[in-house]
Amino acid sequence: MKFAYHVSLILILFCSWNISCSENSAQPQVTNNEPIVWPNAFEMNDRIGRAINLGNALDAPIEGEWGVTLEESFFSLIDSVGFDAVRIPIRWPAHAALDSPYTIDPRFLQRVDWAVESALERGLVAIINIHHYEEIMQHPEEHKSRFLGLWRQLAAHYQDDSPNLIFEVLNEPNAELTPTLWNEYLTEALSIIRETNPRRAVIVGTANWGGISSLSNLVIPEADSMIIVTYHYYNPFQFTHQGAGWVDGSNAWLGTTWSETEAEKQAVRNDFDLAENWAKQHNRPIFMGEFGAYSAAGLVSRVRWTNFVAREAERRGFSWAYWEFCSGFGIYDADAGDWNGYLLQALIPD
């Protein structure tokens, strides 16, 4: 997965052939004797295309605790049905020291390396983020240094990886991590990332749980052209989260349908128009990093909503990642070894 070895070997060979190894003749990173091509942010967003979240696995307090343990076969399955990318939510804070330099558990880092390699080897784009950092949401000032320390380690660790590895700075900033504070923190995190990854695509989301309405509060360094902006979409919430055990009062919403009425469709269009207009104004590509309807909703309504939301995103040139692969929102039954064909068809039509 690392390119450093290949680069060193090639430079040694060049020198042995009396080819100048002066500073002026330094070559870019190479793999198989070819320079790495670093696409721009819009090209990388196109590569993301249609993605799936590998949720409830590495973002659980301990992998497997929420019923999902990643398997090699998952990546092959995802690739085989036509997805272009995987978003891998990761709870790094649960596997890092509390004191500076906030060292990440090397065994956990190795597990993430395996997941990234499993995606890249199959030609999938891999997106890794910091997920469920709940402490920084409640006590941002106390955790700012640790947050930045995590990115200092991750950026250095992955600096020689393929351009098809994308960083996402933080999942769904919320609560006390206000829009103003978030703009400050993400700018500092980007500065750290750019020290070792000047050309890598980086995904940045909005405060207030990653919603579209907070795009107007997002401030990104103008000079950084390798930013992809993300939002998450679960509207209408009483439909997508009916019966969700972690949402208070959601059982009262059971039976809520989405019938693809003109009013329902227009509500989605209106939301996406806001994102599209913002993207055009700021010249940034858009990635809908999460969307999905919980399994307690009726399947017919879930299929209608999923298809419509995905197509509206694509119509505007947005990439997207469905939430998620094989848990409560999932499209794959890992126990039965079978897809929910209706939802899969809604996401990736023939």
pLDDT digits (tens, 9 = 90+) for 224-277: 999 999 999 999 999 999 999 999 999 999 999 999 999 999 999 999 999 999
Angstrom distance (rounded) from CA 135 to CA 317:
35
Angstrom distance (rounded) from CA 160 to CA 120:
13
At 27 the pLDDT is: 34
DSSP conformation class of 253: G
List Cβ neighbours of 206 (8 Å cut-off, separation of 6 or more). 173, 179, 182, 212, 214, 215, 217, 218, 229, 230, 231
Q: So where are the chain's domains?
A: 1-36, 39-347
Checking if the pLDDT of 28 tops 70, the result is: no
Checking if the pLDDT of 198 tops 70, the result is: yes
CB 131 within 8 A of CB 171: yes
Angstrom distance (rounded) from CA 132 to CA 128:
13
pLDDT: is 9 or 225 the higher one? 225
Structure tokens at 261: 């009425």
For 280, phi then psi, to 5°, come to -65, -40
Min mean pLDDT across 18-32, 152-166, 264-278 is at: 18-32
At 291 the pLDDT is: 98
pLDDT band for 19, please (50, 70, 90 cuts): very low
Q: Which residues are catalytic?
A: 172, 290
Min mean pLDDT across 24-38, 201-215, 327-341 is at: 24-38
* CA 41-52-212 angle, 5° bins: 60
At 36 the pLDDT is: 85
- pTM (global) more than 0.85: yes
Min mean pLDDT across 16-30, 152-166, 275-289, 329-343 is at: 16-30
Rounded average pLDDT over 154-170: 98
pLDDT band for 32, please (50, 70, 90 cuts): low
Angstrom distance (rounded) from CA 167 to CA 348:
25
Fold of 39-347: TIM Barrel (3.20.20)
Whether residue 34 has a cis bond before it, omega within 30° of 0: no
